[in-house]
Amino acid sequence: MLKINGLDKLQKELKDAEQALNELDGELGVVNFDPHDPVSIEAAIQSVNRMIDSRIEPHADNPFVGSFADQMKESYRENILQKAAEGRLQSDEDE
Per-residue pLDDT, 42: 97
Q: State which residues of the chain have pLDDT below 70.
A: 1-6, 94-95
Angle between helices 7-24 and 63-94 (to 10 degrees): 30
Per-residue pLDDT, 18: 84
| pLDDT tens digits, one per residue of 54-78 | 988 888 888 888 888 899 999 999 9
Per-residue pLDDT, 5: 67
Per-residue pLDDT, 30: 92
pTM summary value = 0.78
DSSP secondary structure letters along 20-55: HHHHHSS--------TT-HHHHHHHHHHHHHHHHHH
